[in-house]
Amino acid sequence: MINLAGRDILHNWGKFVMTGVGLGLLIGVTLTMAGVYRGMVDDAQALIANSGADLWVVQQDTLGPYAEPSAIHDDVARDLLLQPGVMATGNVAYLTMQIQHAEQEVRIMLVGIEADKPGTPAYLISGRPITQSHYEALADIKSGLNLGERIRIRRHEYTVVGLTRRMVSSSGDPMIFVPIKDAQEVQFLKDNDALLNERARTTAPSRLPGAISPATSQMVNAVLVQLKPGFLDEEVAASIRRWKHLQSYTRAQMEEILVARLIATSAKQIFMFLVILSIVSAAIVAFIIYTMTMNKIREIAVLKLIGAGNRIISLMILQQALGLGLIGFVVGKTAATFWAPLFPKYVLLIPGDALRGFFLVMVMCALASSFAIRAALRVDPASAIGG
Amino acid sequence: MSTPAIEIVNLTKRYGQGDTAVDALKGVNMTIWPGEVVGLVGPSGSGKSTLLKCLGAVIEPTSGKMQLGGQTIFDNIWKIDDLRTLRRDRIGFVFQAPYLIPFLDVTDNIALLPMLAGVPDDKARIRARELLDALDVGHRAHAQVSQLSGGEQQRVSIARALANHPPVILADEPTAPLDSERALNVVRLLGQMAEQYQTAIIVVTHDEKIIPTFKRIYHIRDGRTYEEAGEGRTA
């Protein structure tokens, strides 16, 4: 038996392919939106994984350095080493800021780290780790910085000695790692006028008796903790919460904060876009298939008159709708793959989403074709006979 | 000729109900024998198309008897699928415009009918080629419909009507888009086919040029038929 759908497609292949390409671009946008969401989750997970920490110790009653402001004294890291199960600790400071690079503003997350301690990037794609106490930096490749380049951060200039990859904040800003002392200075050091004012205030004769002296230790945003093998993160975290009056999060808890809370609103936003795009795509497919069918109304009437059954006519329309969906999906997937790297934020296209997208497109096309099939089945074969 | 190909007795068709009812057919009688080409002539609104639709088993008459090859049609036991099969296997259609399927080539336009009836593709195509040769368009077997002239398209549509060797062909103004010479050729061709395949052919027409070629003519006016013997050169 002749495949009527195939013959019709071949007869009008140019029109059919162009329609498929148009639909494909829409499907490409839909797949990209899914990729944007996956990218956000992956960024959050990469942030946690790349830190190399088992626990995040932060200021009490806060959600940690990525979600809320947190400030604890940097000597906490030494105290925590005495806790059972703690193998290593590292002070970290996080600060989102703008820097100038190549005459452009670049938004970055400045991360203060202690060399060879938790928080240090696990691997470099080129260069070497920070070895000096000051003015050396590791930059994520997404920042656009190159090895040996010098960048100005507040008062000082830093030399990029190493490059990392996939080290970005939960907002997708590239990270620049500097020694913790430098980060503390950037974060907490005040300008000269502010220092003079504060000195005048704290040494004034009118100072109230019992007022607290200026702190001698520096502040950091969090202490990252690595555990000895065999110790459960939940137990050590509970112990820190109980004895140190600090908040302590396990890796799973931190992931929950980042994925389920921090990017939840963005995820819902993207989900809404996905739903709307899917509805728009379905409506467009339905309209295209309906129009294509209506253009063949005379042929359908003749086919019915000469004895073609409803199954043959329905199958012809369904196959065309699925063919359109197939072309659309291939074009959409290809387009998304090509344009994803051009997005400023990480777009992660995973095969599972593509597979789900493929089935969704096919189901959508099949459902959309039902309108055209209904219209075709209502065509009266008598309309092929004049009068 | 023991059994008429078509026999219609007192056929009526009413559209609508009550005050708005219209009687399109008011008692049509008609008998057509195998191998005969009969003209059906009448002005617009006389009931030609309604009669053709009843004969084509696409609309049900209100009353009366209609038999194809001795078998009564529309006697309350026919289902839609039965009528579809009846149209496919026992009635051929030739339209005013050829209405060929534009996305099939010439051969497949004809072979589609036997294929719908369950004939294997290769045999259906062989049958299509035979008919195309018989109608002198064998050389256009692989052409696209859009590449054919008007006359060639009408020949292909006649071949399509004959594809399942039906006992009856209904031709609705088949010569309307053709010039005199081609119109007469088509009628001559229909006569040859009727004789060769013993097919009864009803040709609905306004065409004054071809009316004298029919042996018998049915005039239809206000839903009633009147038979007239024609000069008849075709059958």
Establish if B224 belongs to a structural domain.
yes
Instruction: Spell out the residues 6+ positions from residue B91 whose beta carbon is closer than 8 angstroms to its own.
Output: B55, B56, B57, B68, B166, B168, B169, B170
SS3 A250: strand
Q: Please choose, from the candidates A243, A347, A268, A299, the residue with its C-alpha nearest in 3D space to the C-alpha of residue A31.
A: A347
Could you tell me which residue, A44 or A329, shows the higher pLDDT? A329
Q: What pLDDT shows up at residue A355?
A: 93
Count up the domains in chain B and report the number: 1
Among the partner-chain residues B88, B102, B172, the one whose CB lies closest to the CB of A307 is B88
| CA–CA distance, A2 with A23 (Å, rounded to integer) | 27
Q: How far is B209 from chain A (nearest CA, A)?
A: 21
Given an 8 Å threshold on Cβ–Cβ distance, is B87 in contact with A381?
yes
Establish if B147 belongs to a structural domain.
yes
For chains A and B, what is the number of CB pairs under 8 angstroms? Answer: 82
| CA–CA distance, A275 with A289 (Å, rounded to integer) | 21
Could you tell me which residue, A17 or A344, shows the higher pLDDT? A17
Q: Please choose, from the candidates A307, A302, A382, the residue with its C-alpha nearest in 3D space to the C-alpha of residue B157.
A: A302
Among the partner-chain residues A12, A306, A381, the one whose CB lies closest to the CB of B113 is A306
Q: Does B119 touch chain A (CB under 8 A)?
A: no
Most B CBs within 10 Å, among A8, A292, A299, A305, to test the B interface: A305
Establish if B201 belongs to a structural domain.
yes
Alpha helices in chain A (DSSP H): 4-11, 13-51, 76-80, 180-188, 192-202, 233-244, 251-255, 264-294, 297-305, 310-339, 351-377
> Quick count: other Cβ atoms within 10 Å of Cβ A280?
13
Given an 8 Å threshold on Cβ–Cβ distance, is B88 in contact with A12?
no
Span B219-231, pLDDT tens digits: 998 888 888 766 5
| CA–CA distance, A315 with A324 (Å, rounded to integer) | 14
> Quick count: other Cβ atoms within 10 Å of Cβ A5?
19
> Quick count: other Cβ atoms within 10 Å of Cβ A243?
10
C-alpha dihedral sign at B222, B92, B132, B212: negative
For every residue of A117-180, which 3-state class applies, written as one string?
CCCCCCCCCEECCCCCCCCEEEEEHHHCCCCCCEEEECCEEEEEEEEECCCECCCCCEEEEEEH
Establish if B1 belongs to a structural domain.
no
Span B38-94, pLDDT tens digits: 999 988 888 888 999 899 888 889 999 998 888 888 776 777 778 888 888 899 998
Span A216-258, pLDDT tens digits: 457 889 999 999 998 899 999 998 888 777 899 999 999 888 8
Given an 8 Å threshold on Cβ–Cβ distance, is B112 in contact with A2?
yes
Global pTM? 0.78
Which of the four pLDDT bands, split at 50, 70 and 90, describes residue B99? Answer: confident
Model ipTM value:
0.85
Q: Nearest 5 degrees, angle CA A80-CA A83-CA A85?
A: 115
Establish if B160 belongs to a structural domain.
yes
Task: Read off the CATH number of the domain in which B149 is found.
Answer: 3.40.50.300
Establish if B99 belongs to a structural domain.
yes
Given an 8 Å threshold on Cβ–Cβ distance, is B101 in contact with A302?
yes
The continuous run of DSSP H or E covering B9 comes out as strand B6-15
Q: What pLDDT shows up at residue A202?
A: 66
Residue B97 domain boundaries: 33-58+80-229
Which stretch of A22-36, A189-203, A210-224, B177-191 has the lowest confidence by average pLDDT? A210-224
SS3 A379: coil
Q: What pLDDT shows up at residue B176?
A: 79
Establish if B137 belongs to a structural domain.
yes
Taking a C-beta distance cutoff of 8 angstroms, is the pair A217, A7 a contact? no
Burial of A381 (0-12, 13-18, 19+ CB in 10 A): buried
| CA–CA distance, B177 with B179 (Å, rounded to integer) | 7
Given an 8 Å threshold on Cβ–Cβ distance, is B111 in contact with A312?
no
CB contacts, 8 Å: A16 with chain B: none
| CA–CA distance, B203 with B232 (Å, rounded to integer) | 13
Taking a C-beta distance cutoff of 8 angstroms, is the pair B125, B115 a contact? no
- Residue A159 pairs with which residues in a beta bridge? A136, A150
Which of the four pLDDT bands, split at 50, 70 and 90, describes residue A92? Answer: very high
Establish if B24 belongs to a structural domain.
no
